[in-house]
């Protein structure tokens, strides 16, 4: 044989090299086989974590509860810290590990329970620490002796009391199947897990670990990056990160380790809005002691989603991706319980999929009054959205918009305040932000605008303005400013601004929209007429009554021609004339149109007695009777209107206060001064609560109340 050898041997290895056929038989026995050769953690006496928090914020109540377990003397205590990934369960466990070992003299044992092999090796190492002999451990490793029984035999007989942490126990079946989780009179067990269901932890005391309060979250950023900004700036960044401890730690780490070009918290906050949040956050992970997916926002929840798919459970993944198209706000469960979801996952499987997400702390159930909702963290949803395959987005967006469409009334009607509608608003806007395809954007905008209309008609003008006011510019990025639906959303914004008393903003907006609609669609287009109906209200209340009357008459004529005299929209405009005309104009109108003063009867016949237009017709008819000097008729009618408003629309509805103000005026006109003052004082107080002290309606009500109290008020003079 010639030439250099290609192989090299180390330790007890041997190398054979030959140019011919060889048959070699060897028998080896090199010393004993002990625990050092079995594999396992290098230490169970130290927490196996990446980075120690600079300071543990807002966990005092949890730590106090755990201290009680150490000082009570009861023994056999098992505590379970559960919560979503990144909420700081391990940090709490680490902090209490230090307390148990430092202040209470416990032997600390730390075992990673993320998978079967790691748990088994860690628990056997704990048994070795508590006195297990090499032969016992070898027998357990080789399956000749039950490993869990061996571990707990030595834990139960430990000469010193101990504190055992089972970290990352996100698959409780691993603990259950091997009977690894037990109580012992000699120690206390603390488990950290994402699995929230109590059935996994019989006999244990459960403690939820959530996100941090606002101030403590900001302090985490200041702890890590004290020179990057103020507490106020840190608070804004913390809110954007949903006050999630992992995200805060990564953000603070990034800010603290920028040397060449340091970032401020303000800059970091802006970049969170502009870039992929998960990618930016994970840049802060470079400062951690080890690379672990649990330390990365972009990967920590993907571990759980991967496990779903490995176990043949695609529905929870699909449902979470659907939720990621919406907002990190409470979503009424009724939205998910609809047949429209079948395009993504079978409706009967939705319940099971949601329970899986709740059980794995990927979402949580919250009760808001009588509404039960699903609520997922914003950073989690951002991460899931970023990892969603692009090919899945059209179906996800279509399913989301159909679910929201089904949840919003098809024809929004006036009625009592509905809290469910307000909960839908952030989801409609989130879907608009995440939809870039024109047809999907138009569908989402149509739903958002109809939702704003529904909010408006329940008297929630602020939410209506916020919804329509945000939806229009979001959609215009894809559809353009002159798209029909974008203009309709702007018009809805203007009408809500009027109801909020912001006339100086509402008037130019509605004028601009109507001007564009006139140019694009003509004067008799339904959208143009609808904007005109809203604009005349602003003009009439903004000191431009003559222009308002002229515009309203043109809207009435246009709706008569396009829709007929008895269409609800036409009737609404005709009824509006009853509210704006003077006594002389009312008399003239009644002469020209014999049906004018019988509009309430026509509305009752065509629309029903409780329709919003019918109630408004009766209200405005009472006002017409009042300006005509028929005070007793007006008083009798408005009294009944107030009662019906309260019964149909609810006592807090804005129209109730307007009707009661007219009732105060009719009472004063009839000489019942004290009753009028009492009524008007209640109206002013109600408007201050509902609209604020500076709203024009509130101010005019205060002026009327002053006049009534002083005796200076006089009723309008009827036409001669």
Lowest mean pLDDT among 151-155, 191-195, 247-251, 701-705: 247-251
Tokens for 131, please give them: 């006195």
Q: Render pLDDT for 354-403 as a digit per residue (tens, 0 to 9).
A: 988 888 778 888 898 889 999 888 878 888 888 899 999 999 999 999 99
Q: Render pLDDT for 290-332 as a digit per residue (tens, 0 to 9).
A: 455 555 555 566 667 777 777 778 899 999 999 999 998 899 9
3-state secondary structure 239-306: HHCCCCHHHHHHHHHHHHCCCCCCCCHHHHHHHHHHCCHHHHHHHHHHHCCCCCHHHCHHHHCHHHHH
Lowest mean pLDDT among 80-84, 533-537, 610-614: 80-84
Mean pLDDT of the chain: 86
3-state secondary structure 662-698: HHHHHHHHCCCHHHHHHHHHHHHHHHHHHCCCCCHHH
Domain 60-207: give its CATH code.
3.40.50.300
pLDDT confidence of residue 2: 44
The whole-number average pLDDT for the span 671-699 is 94
Residue 146, pLDDT above cutoff 60 = yes
Distance CA 551, CA 537 (A): 10
519: confidence class by pLDDT, cuts 50, 70, 90: very high
Q: Which of 508, 502, 505, 582 is nearest to 546 (CA)?
A: 582
Q: Render pLDDT for 115-143 as a digit per residue (tens, 0 to 9).
A: 888 888 889 999 999 999 988 888 888 88
Domain 301-407: give its CATH code.
1.10.10
Lowest mean pLDDT among 155-159, 187-191, 357-361: 357-361
89 close to 96: Cβ distance less than 8 angstroms:
no
Q: Please list the alpha-helical segments (H only) found in 542-582.
A: 545-563, 568-580
Task: Please tell me the pTM assigned to this model.
Answer: 0.76
- Strands 187-193, 331-332: pairing is unpaired
CB-side neighbour CA atoms (13 Å) of 15 = 9
Q: E strands, 333-378, where? A: 364-368, 371-375
The domain defined by 564-720 folds into: 1.25.40
Q: Render pLDDT for 577-625 as a digit per residue (tens, 0 to 9).
A: 999 999 989 988 888 888 899 999 999 999 999 999 999 999 999 999 9
The whole-number average pLDDT for the span 405-433 is 93
Distance CA 428, CA 411 (A): 17
Strands laid side by side in the 364-368 sheet:
331-332, 371-375, 364-368
Task: For the chain, give every domain's residue range.
Answer: 60-207, 214-298, 301-407, 501-551, 564-720
In this structure, the dihedral spanned by the alpha carbons of residues 328, 332, 334 and 339, taken in order and rounded to 10 degrees, is -20
Residue indicated by tokens 């009732």 = 663
37: confidence class by pLDDT, cuts 50, 70, 90: very low
Distance CA 352, CA 359 (A): 10
The whole-number average pLDDT for the span 630-648 is 95
Residue indicated by tokens 């065509």 = 606
pLDDT confidence of residue 41: 77
Dump the DSSP string for 187-213: EEEEEEES---GGGSTTPEEEE--PPP
């Amino acid at each position: 044989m010639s030439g250099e050898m290609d192989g090299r041997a180390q330790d007890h290895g041997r190398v054979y090299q030959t140019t011919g056929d060889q048959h070699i038989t060897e028998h080896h026995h090199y010393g004993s086989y002990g625990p050092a050769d079995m594999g396992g953690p290098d230490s169970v006496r130290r927490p196996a974590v990446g980075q120690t928090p600079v300071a543990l914020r807002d966990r005092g109540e949890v730590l106090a509860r755990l201290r009680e377990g150490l000082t009570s003397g009861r023994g056999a205590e098992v505590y379970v810290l559960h919560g979503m990934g990144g909420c700081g369960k391990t940090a709490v466990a680490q902090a209490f590990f230090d307390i148990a070992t430092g202040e209470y003299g416990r032997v600390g044992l730390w075992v990673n329970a993320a998978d079967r092999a790691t748990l088994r090796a860690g628990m056997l190492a704990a048994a070795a620490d508590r006195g297990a002999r090499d032969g016992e451990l070898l027998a357990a490793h080789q399956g000749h002796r039950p490993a869990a029984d061996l571990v707990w035999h030595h834990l139960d007989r430990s000469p010193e009391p101990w504190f055992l942490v089972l970290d990352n126990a996100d698959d409780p079946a691993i603990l259950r199947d091997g009977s690894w989780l037990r109580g012992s009179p000699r120690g206390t067990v603390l488990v950290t897990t994402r699995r929230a269901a109590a059935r996994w932890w019989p006999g244990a005391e459960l403690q939820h670990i959530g996100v941090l309060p606002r101030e403590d979250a900001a302090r985490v950023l200041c702890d890590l990056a004290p020179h990057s900004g103020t507490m106020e700036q840190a608070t804004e960044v913390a809110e954007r990160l949903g006050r999630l401890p992992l995200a805060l730690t990564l953000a603070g780490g990034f800010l603290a380790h920028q040397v060449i070009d340091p970032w401020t918290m303000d800059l970091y906050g802006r970049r969170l809005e502009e870039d992929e949040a998960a990618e930016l956050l994970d840049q802060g992970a470079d400062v951690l002691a080890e690379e672990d997916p649990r330390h990365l926002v972009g990967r920590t929840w993907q571990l759980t989603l991967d496990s779903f798919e490995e176990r043949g459970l695609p529905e929870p993944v699909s449902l979470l991706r659907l939720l990621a198209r919406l907002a990190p706000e409470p979503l009424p469960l009724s939205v998910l319980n609809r047949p429209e979801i079948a395009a993504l996952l079978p409706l009967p499987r939705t319940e099971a999929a949601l329970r899986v997400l709740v059980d794995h702390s990927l979402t949580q159930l919250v009760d808001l009054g009588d509404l039960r909702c699903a609520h997922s963290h914003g950073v989690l949803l951002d991460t899931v959205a970023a990892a969603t395959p692009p090919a899945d987005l059209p179906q996800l967006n279509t399913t989301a918009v159909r679910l929201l469409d089904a949840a919003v009334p098809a024809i929004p009607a006036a009625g009592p305040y509905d809290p469910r509608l307000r909960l839908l608003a952030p989801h409609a806007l989130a879907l608009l932000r995440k939809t870039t395809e024109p047809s999907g954007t138009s569908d989402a905008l149509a739903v958002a605008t109809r939702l704003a209309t529904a909010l408006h008609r329940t008297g929630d003008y602020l939410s209506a303005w916020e919804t329509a006011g945000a939806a229009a510019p979001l959609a215009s990025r894809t559809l353009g400013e002159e798209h029909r639906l974008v203009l309709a959303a702007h018009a809805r914004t203007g009408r809500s601004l009027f109801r909020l008393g912001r006339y100086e903003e509402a008037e130019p907006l509605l004028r601009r929209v109507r001007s564009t609609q006139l140019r694009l669609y003509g004067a008799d287009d339904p959208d143009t007429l609808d904007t005109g109906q809203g604009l005349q209200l602003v003009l009439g209340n903004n000191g431009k009554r003559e222009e308002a009357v002229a515009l309203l008459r043109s809207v009435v004529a246009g709706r008569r021609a396009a829709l007929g005299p008895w269409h609800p929209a036409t009737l609404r405009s005709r009824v509006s004339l009853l509210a704006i005309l003077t006594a002389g104009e009312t008399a003239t109108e009644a002469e020209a149109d014999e049906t004018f003063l019988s509009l309430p009867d026509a509305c009752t016949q065509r629309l029903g007695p409780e329709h919003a237009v019918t109630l408004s017709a009766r209200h405005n008819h009472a006002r017409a009777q009042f300006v005509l000097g028929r005070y007793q008729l007006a008083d009798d009618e408005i009294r009944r209107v107030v009662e019906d408003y309260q019964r149909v629309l609810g006592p807090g509805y804005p129209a109730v206060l307007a009707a009661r103000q007219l009732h105060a005026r009719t009472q004063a006109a009839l000489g019942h001064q004290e009753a009028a003052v009492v009524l008007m004082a209640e109206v002013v107080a109600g408007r201050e609560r509902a609209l604020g002290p500076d709203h024009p309606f509130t101010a005019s009500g205060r002026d009327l109340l002053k006049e009534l109290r002083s005796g200076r008020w006089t009723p309008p003079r009827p036409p001669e």
